[in-house]
Structure 1
């Protein structure tokens, strides 16, 4: 029996991004009280205002997911304005150029101006791990305290197909997202006695602000990498942000009360396809 998320207080980190804003709007449209948490307060407030004008309930909150003090301050504001947190969506994440290689394969030849594994900087690797892993760990540590001793609470992390099948060129991002999937399972066991469910979404390839230039050219045609990805996606298309909504709502709904510690792929079959 679906109860929905009406009147649930839900925090969405990374809530102003392409995928995050779609999830935020979807949750608000179902009656949730949503805190849009992002580094840019103007963007968070703009989205919250849009939701409020359409009859929903939302507030914009500025905080860096890697800054615990900022999260504690955000937590106090959310509690004061909306109440204790019922559901946390850990949507913040991303990559960094210094955590990537410029070529798919290492070769002694043609290494001029290339960024190889040996050129990758610690700062870039650290940035990617902090944003993706610590940016999930710290918000959970702060907001999950509200869930202790209460019913129908849950945490939803955002993993990636690169956690399942490590993608070329993005070793830091792939490893960090693999850590998210592992951490999801660990937390699901740790919080099981409290009835707090912990799951993860595994989005396939969606055109976002971060990857649009990697997958498409300025004229809208596909890059070589974009073509390669679609050739490995049985449904032969990129995802639309709306494709995440039904799975998002199901995992947040108490109807999935026996579902915890799982990662659900919304990827057009990418993770299921072995290329032949």
Structure 2
């Protein structure tokens, strides 16, 4: 029996490209990695390079018997599989127009990309279900949400993987298994290089369409895969890693040259708005413990008085543009730059029926939840642009993706934050600033507890409606924010990561966390 360091991770299509980069990343995290591939000999060689705790094995995801035999061999050696990375896939070899596409070729692509993903999840999932825990990450594609001419079959297969991901996440969440998807954009892999050589992809044209101005390296996809396997409140979510490609809606080039990478210093200078309570406080604590200099901006002087001595508290009303500029000028004068901005400050709306709500009440929520994040982002970006760039993480919400009765101001504002995030990401990439958002579900914070106490929201009903059967923890959101502010997310911009225990993925009737 090979000694097991931490997790046992099985990766399909792991002999090269994204799969191999993911194997190396999990290995560096001291996990035991099984590299499976249709090219078994190459998979074995790559595993030997990683060390004795790893294993290479031949596995054809399109053949159920091959999957069954390989999983049995892996379980015999390791006793369990903690993480499955469904990475194996193929592309349309010639980019044939749909009208001329051979149906056999379409079915073959679906067999590998979709049915292979399903078969692996089902067979590996059986052992995970017995243990009551596990993680599955399906590698889909940007092509699953954006059509590319001549790639209809590929888009069909990857779009189907996303639907499968959500369905499986909701079915298995209450059984201790999380299922997510990572959506790479253009990546400089062997497959893409062959497409370039065959004149199926024109590199300069592709790069100009990407706000970051370049294709990703496989390692830049591997790190989000590792993170997706680690965040404990992430399920049914999709993480788009495409340099901002999906966020760009302009008619001209998104970039003229490769955007500079943010040069975030160590220790970092981190500004957190609304950082004295709830999620903001968890974010501030996370960065403080990592050695960053954290500046907490909040409008509650009593809450500011309770922050740790390691953090700097500054009183700020985020609806006051003059105060914002003065505060950020003070920060810049003292610290020269800002590396990371966490745009977290927000308020709940008054839960009044729309017909009875006044325009003034509607505007009050928009002022704090939408206009203020824009003003704060402007002030931080001016400082970042004068130095070496940085990272901005905005707080959106599941309210951006589903209507909540009597919460029109909040829903409008948070969806506005989503589009603001995408727009700023495209505009500021050339200045070395990455802009992303985290959309939390219901989190155990003082604010949510107050809603429960007032009878406005029922924590028990929320738990039943959430596939994972619980509210999230502020630290789980802080983890997502910290990931988006790190070098591990270097190819992510214009993306929104939903961290909600599967809430937004659930589409059935009844209680999500009590499905049989």
TM range (shorter): 0.7 to 0.9
Structure 1 residues 171-180 or 28-37, which shifts more? 28-37
Q: 1:245–1:72: structure 2 CA closer, same or farther, 3 Å change rule?
A: same
Are 2:12 and 2:36, in contact at CA under 8 Å, matched by a contact in 1?
yes
Are 2:15 and 2:42, in contact at CA under 8 Å, matched by a contact in 1?
yes
Corresponding residue for residue 258 of structure 1: 233
Candidates 199, 202, 214, aligned match of 1:225? 202
- Residue 58 of structure 1: CA displacement? 0.8
Corresponding residue for residue 272 of structure 1: 247
Q: Higher relative contact order by CA 8 Å / sep ≥ 6: 1 or 2?
A: 1
Corresponding residue for residue 111 of structure 1: none
Corresponding residue for residue 212 of structure 1: 193
Distance across 1 between alignment mates of 2:60 and 2:135: 22
- Residue 213 of structure 1: CA displacement? 3.3
| Structure 2 unmatched runs, 5+ | 252-516
Are 2:71 and 2:123, in contact at CA under 8 Å, matched by a contact in 1?
yes
| Structure 1 unmatched runs, 5+ | 102-115
Distance across 2 between alignment mates of 1:207 and 1:246: 15
Cα RMSD over matched residues? Answer: 1.9
Are 1:9 and 1:83, in contact at CA under 8 Å, matched by a contact in 2?
no
What SS does the aligned partner of 1:57 have? coil
- Residue 6 of structure 1: CA displacement? 4.9
Distance across 1 between alignment mates of 2:132 and 2:197: 44
**1:153-197 per-position Cα deviation (integer Å, ceiling 9, x unaligned):** 110001101111111111100111000111111111011110211
**1:193-220 per-position Cα deviation (integer Å, ceiling 9, x unaligned):** 1021100111111111112133368xxx
Q: 1:224–1:48: structure 2 CA closer, same or farther, 3 Å change rule?
A: closer
Are 1:156 and 1:198, in contact at CA under 8 Å, matched by a contact in 2?
yes
Distance across 2 between alignment mates of 1:83 and 1:212: 38
For normalisation by structure 1, the TM-score amounts to 0.84
Are 1:37 and 1:60, in contact at CA under 8 Å, matched by a contact in 2?
yes
Candidates 73, 78, 99, aligned match of 1:77? 73
Residue 62 in structure 1 maps to residue 62 in structure 2: no
Corresponding residue for residue 173 of structure 1: 154
Are 2:27 and 2:50, in contact at CA under 8 Å, matched by a contact in 1?
yes
Corresponding residue for residue 34 of structure 2: 35
What SS does the aligned partner of 2:190 have? coil
Q: 1:60–1:170: structure 2 CA closer, same or farther, 3 Å change rule?
A: same
Bigger Rg over Cα: 2
Q: 1:275–1:57: structure 2 CA closer, same or farther, 3 Å change rule?
A: farther
Corresponding residue for residue 91 of structure 1: 87
Are 2:18 and 2:222, in contact at CA under 8 Å, matched by a contact in 1?
no
Are 1:149 and 1:194, in contact at CA under 8 Å, matched by a contact in 2?
no
Q: 1:274–1:215: structure 2 CA closer, same or farther, 3 Å change rule?
A: farther
Number of corresponding residues: 248
Corresponding residue for residue 249 of structure 1: 226
What SS does the aligned partner of 2:36 have? strand
Distance across 2 between alignment mates of 1:48 and 1:244: 20
- Residue 251 of structure 1: CA displacement? 1.2
